[in-house]
A and B are shown apart, each in its own frame.
Chain A
Amino acid sequence: MFHRESGIFKTSYGADMALYPLPVAKTAVIAIAAGVVLLPIVLLSVAPPLVANYYLSIINLIFIAIVGALGLNILVGYTGQISIGHAAFMSVGAYTAANLAVKFGLPFWITLPAGGLMAALIGAIVGIPSLRIKGLYLAIATLAGQLIIEWTINHVPAISGGAQASIEVPKPSLFGYEFKTQGQLYFFLLFFVVLAIVATLNLVRSRIGRAFIAIRDQDIAAEIIGISIFRYKLMAFAISSFYAGVTGVLYTYYLGIANYEQFQIGVSIDYLAMIIIGGLGSVLGSILGAIFVTLLPIAITWIVEGIGSMLFEMQQIQHVVSNARVITFGLLIIVFLILEPEGLNRLWRNIRSYFRVWPFSY
């Protein structure tokens, strides 16, 4: 875990950009991969099925959030373009996939990329204002995108599938094997999470990723050194929306339904919270943020209920539990951001660099 080079010996750009800075990292990654794959099997063998399924269901929700947070971080964290329309792009992906799956009976391995591509297209269109405006103004423009997409889904029955704006989809299946239980869905989602993480890691160290970062740091300077702002800003919106679309599709398959109320403005804010808490412009930050925002309310509830039920009848303190959760959640976000404004990712790095020289810190 704490393996580190003893100095900087890189002599080529290739070495500097390598995904694995040291050969030992490969072994570590393989070990993690094995752990992740074995986790549900171990969980199911040590815990009763209902309990194991409960924990798997939480991990599954985190998996879905990770894909969405990665996508938003590419746009906001790496390219520096603010977007409050992330949930709307998810709904584009969700309804595209749901319609394809129901009307044409297509399997998930077609509907999933199709949902992503459709979201990318719409995302690129919503991103056009970013060519002229920045910061808060762009935020408002993307907010308009969110509301327009919500309105369209609400008012076009061909998209929404009728007045209820819900489309039920069958569970995903591959060669006749159906992903139904939480354990099966775990592996289904895991595949796409790994794909998203690997893709993002590679994207940000590529020519495109560096162009994004250049635009974020100083767009005029970036243009002067020959980066096409037009192309890369729209590309950032498209790639980010592709992730969002895939998130929407995964959500749809996980729940078995695409529903209008799952992708409203509040969800966009939740995802912004994830990447800000996790750390802007970092893959690990997106993951930590997704885990933090999804898991923290659950953990607080466990703790408060656990302590409360020792002292009181449960129904007398339900209201206290709910309010304690919201207050603690808010407080912890403030505490973490004061402690480290650059997010959990930076906090983790600080801890790591402390132990790197420990106990000889001077």
Chain B
Amino acid sequence: MSKMASRRAITTLLAAGALLAGTPALAQKEIVVGMQTDRVGPTQNVGTVMATAFHDYVALINAKGGVEGYKIRVVEVDNEYKVPPGVEGYERQKKEGAVSVALYGTPIVAAVTQRLMEDKIPGTSPGFGTAAGADGKRYPYSFPIAASYWSQGAMGVKFAKDKLGGSLKGKKIAYLMYDNPAGKEPLPILEDLAKSEGFELKIFAVPAPGVEMGAQVLDIAQRYRADFVIAHLFGRSPSVSIKEFKRVGFPLSKVIAFVWGSAEADIDAAGGFGVAEGYYTMQFAGVGTDYAVHKDIAAMYKAQGREPSKEMASTVYYNRGVVWAAMHVVAMRNAIKAKGGAMPTGEDVKKGFESITAKDLESLGGVAPPLAITPEDHEGGGWVQVFQAKGGKLVKATEWEQAYRDVLKKHLDAESKKAGG
């Protein structure tokens, strides 16, 4: 009896679903991109802003006549940073005809990686997923398209080296990390560089949820007396770290944070820019609104007689969303051009991604890194720009830079070999 009931329930709901979902209205020339985000889950402060930016940029392109004559339709899925809705959402986006998907959330990226390859649909995951995902030979349809944690770790070391007078011999670097797989991911790179650069590396792990790190910070500041701190924290913990460093009197100009501890929101939560003065942050998209693309988006809103979205004020995440959307648009443009104007498949868009160069993103006005994605390197070169909290805003501290590419290459090859590739 129970089986009978369950079966009935499934079929009834399915029938209802089929009626409700219906078929999408047919526009004459439309290209579909899937986008996942998190608007109500644990990372909603990031997801909401990035998704808004994504929609804004696509709306801008559509307002200018679309990409090569195609109007772009975004199919958004809010996965709440959970795997089942992420998987279901991916299938829905596929059903809607998405030729590329923008994925959100490390576990979701992991969960659909194999599907991407089977379905031949390229998926992007800036700031999510693993460093090994940059290997285009091993994961032909995964596109991190932004500096991985390995690249960020290497950049942190390079930046510390520059700040400490060009040599790290005998220096002490503290690595303050969130104690989860993502936090530990850069360790092989850091340990390798510690050997070759001759510095001492000490790891300070912060257990989840990362709101209690008084002991670790005090240790770094007063017992270990680190010369530089590389911090890789998530969620609420970056703001806690800023507060704690301030409290024990450790200069924040000796701290550099990974990309997820680098937003205005983190600094605000720590007590504002007054507290965080000097704090260095790594970025894989520019910060601020002084870029050409922001003027274009503001002009678009004005032409429509609307106020720009309030999410634009959170420039760190907003700009990441803009660059993210721009990469999809460029890939689609490349693909449509390569097909001579015909509707591209996922496979074509994959090739479109693999031919993205710095020139394609110039129209954004420097907010995007000068990356070049190739069939081998889906990370695009691991470009990072460092910004510093200074006088009430994040100020550019370096140009777009790469660090220790040879070391990273060695590790990527080793990973690939380990996986039997």
B13 touches A166 (CB 8 A): no
> For B11, what are the chain A residues with a Cβ–Cβ distance below 8 Å?
35, 39
Which residue of A has the minimal Cβ distance to B25? A309
Provide the residues of chain B in CB contact with A50, threshold 8 Å: 94-95, 97
Do A262 and B111 touch across chains, with their CB atoms under 8 A apart?
yes
Interface: A208 (CB within 8 A): no
Q: Which of A180, A295, A297 contacts B118 (CB 8 A)?
A: A180
| Per-residue interface assignment for chain B, residues 5 to 24, with 1 indicating a CB less than 8 Å from any chain A CB and 0 otherwise | 11111110110111011100
**CB proximity of A203 to chain B, nearest CB, Å:** 14
Which chain B residue lies CB-closest to A160?
B181
Pair A306/B88 contact, Cβ less than 8 Å: no
- Inter-chain CA distance A182–B90, complex, in Å, is 13
B interface footprint on A285-323 (CB within 8 Å = 1, 0 otherwise): 001100100110111001100100000001100110111
Q: Is B107 touching A1 in the complex (CB atoms < 8 A)?
A: no
Interface string of B28-56 (1 = CB under 8 A from A): 00000000000110000000100100010
Report A32 CB to chain B, min CB distance, Å: 5
B181 contacts A154, C-beta separation under 8 Å: yes
B184 contacts A163, C-beta separation under 8 Å:
yes
Residues of chain B within 8 A of A326, CB atoms compared: 40
Docked CA distance A188–B206 (Å): 41
- The tally of CB-CB contacts under 8 A between chains A and B is 157
Instruction: Decide if B4 is an interface residue (CB 8 Å cutoff).
Output: yes
Least distance between B195 CB and chain A CB atoms (Å): 17
* B-chain residues with CB within 8 Å of residue A55 when the two chains form the complex: 14, 17-18
Contact with B along A178-209 (1 / 0, CB 8 A): 00111000000000000001000100000000
Q: What's the minimum C-beta distance from B152 to chain A, rounded to whole angstroms?
A: 14
B164-196 interface mask toward A, CB cutoff 8 Å, 1 = contact, 0 = none? Answer: 000000000000000111001101100000000
B59 within 8 Å of A (CB atoms) = yes
Which one of B21, B22, B84 has the greatest number of beta carbons of chain A within 10 Å? Answer: B84
Question: What distance in Å separates the Cβ of A125 from its nearest Cβ neighbour in chain B?
Answer: 23
Chain B residues positioned under 8 Å from A137 (CB to CB): none
Whether A256 and B114, one on each chain, are in contact in the complex, defined by CB atoms closer than 8 angstroms, is yes
Most chain A C-beta atoms within 10 Å of own C-beta, residue among B9, B59, B185: B9
- A214 to B110, alpha carbons, bound, how many Å? 43
Asked if B303 CB lies within 8 Å of chain A CBs, one says: no
Identify which of B58, B95, B187 gathers the most chain A CB atoms within 10 Å of its CB. Answer: B95
Please report the C-alpha to C-alpha distance between residue A153 and residue B83 in the assembled complex, in whole angstroms.
19
Interface centre among B14, B85, B114, B187 (most CB of A within 10 A): B114
Whole-angstrom distance between the alpha carbons of A283 and B6 in the complex?
10
In the complex, A29 has a CB within 8 A of chain B: yes
Q: Which residues of A contact B118 (CB under 8 A)?
A: 180-181
Say whether A315 contacts B110, CB under 8 Å. Answer: no
Judge whether B20 and A259 touch: CB under 8 Å: no
A299 contacts B13, CB within 8 Å? yes
Are A323 and B107 in contact, CB atoms less than 8 angstroms apart? no
Indicate if the CB atoms of A32 and B7 lie closer than 8 Å: yes
Partner of B113, one of A62, A257, A260: A257
Q: Across the interface, which residues of B come within 8 angstroms of A283, CB to CB?
A: 2
How many angstroms from the CA of A29 to the CA of B184 in the assembled complex?
A: 51
Interface residue A165 (Cβ < 8 Å from any Cβ of B): yes
- With A259-B107, A315-B74 given, is the CB distance from A291 to B9 under 8 Å? yes
Q: Is the CB of B88 within 8 A of A61?
A: yes
Closest to A324 in B: B40
- The digit string for A45-81, where 1 denotes a CB below 8 A from any CB of B, is 0010011011101110110011000000000000000
Assess the A318–B51 pair: CB atoms within 8 A: yes
On chain A, the residues within 8 Å of B107 by CB distance are 259-262
B102 shortest CB reach to chain A, Å? 14
Docked CA distance A303–B97 (Å): 20
A321 near B78: Cβ-Cβ < 8 Å: yes
- Chain A residues in 8 Å Cβ range of B40: 322-323, 325-326
Neighbour of A315 across the interface among B17, B76, B88, CB < 8 A: B76
Residue from B6, B16, B18, B59 in contact with A284 in the complex, judged by beta carbons closer than 8 Å: B6
Interface presence of A332 (CB below 8 A): no
Decide: B6 and A287 in contact? CB cutoff 8 A. Answer: yes
Interface residues of B in 397-411 (CB under 8 A from A): none
A354 interface hit (Cβ, 8 Å): no
Contact assessment for B110 and A51 in the assembled complex, using a CB-CB cutoff below 8 Å: no
Is there an interface contact between A318 and B92, defined as CB atoms closer than 8 Å? no
Residues of B within 8 A of A260 (CB): 107, 180-181
- Interface flag for A28 (CB, 8 Å): yes
Q: Please, how many angstroms separate the alpha-carbon atoms of A168 and B110 in the complex?
A: 9
Assess the B179–A35 pair: CB atoms within 8 A.
Answer: no
The answer to whether A230 has its CB under 8 Å from any CB of chain B is no
* B91:A28 contact, CB within 8 angstroms: no
Given contacts A259-B111, A284-B1, whether A54 and B91 have CB atoms under 8 Å apart is: yes
Complex Cα distance A297/B89, Å? 11
Task: Tell which of A166, A182, A291 touches B130, judged by Cβ atoms closer than 8 Å.
Answer: A166
Q: Which residues of B sit under 8 angstroms from A156, Cβ to Cβ?
A: none
Bound-state CA distance A66–B14 (Å) is 17
Residues of A near B59 (CB, < 8 A) are 315
Once the chains are docked, how many angstroms separate the CA of A99 from the CA of B122?
28
How far apart are B379's CB and chain A's nearest CB, in angstroms? 15
Using A295-B13, A322-B39 as known contacts, say yes or no to A303 and B20 having CB atoms under 8 A apart. Answer: yes
Which of B3, B17, B55, B91 meets A299, CB within 8 Å?
A: B17
Per a CB cutoff under 8 Å, which of A66, A197, A318 touches B78? A318
Distance, CA A54 to CA B95, complexed state (A): 6
CB distance from B308 to the nearest CB of A (A): 13
Taking the complex as formed, is B345 at the interface, i.e. its CB lies under 8 A from any CB of chain A? no
Q: Given A284-B1, A284-B6, decide whether A58 and B88 contact each other with a Cβ distance below 8 A.
A: yes
Closest-CB distance, A55 to chain B (whole angstroms): 6
- 9 A-B pairs besides A154-B180, A287-B2 with CB distance below 8 A are A29-B4, A154-B179, A284-B2, A284-B6, A291-B9, A298-B88, A299-B13, A299-B16, A325-B78
Mind listing 17 A-B residue pairs with CB under 8 Å?
A36-B7, A61-B87, A163-B181, A163-B185, A163-B187, A201-B2, A255-B83, A255-B114, A260-B107, A261-B181, A262-B107, A288-B9, A302-B17, A303-B20, A318-B51, A322-B78, A348-B5
Task: Name the 5 nearest CB pairs between A and B, nearest first.
Answer: A256-B114, A261-B107, A284-B2, A315-B55, A322-B39
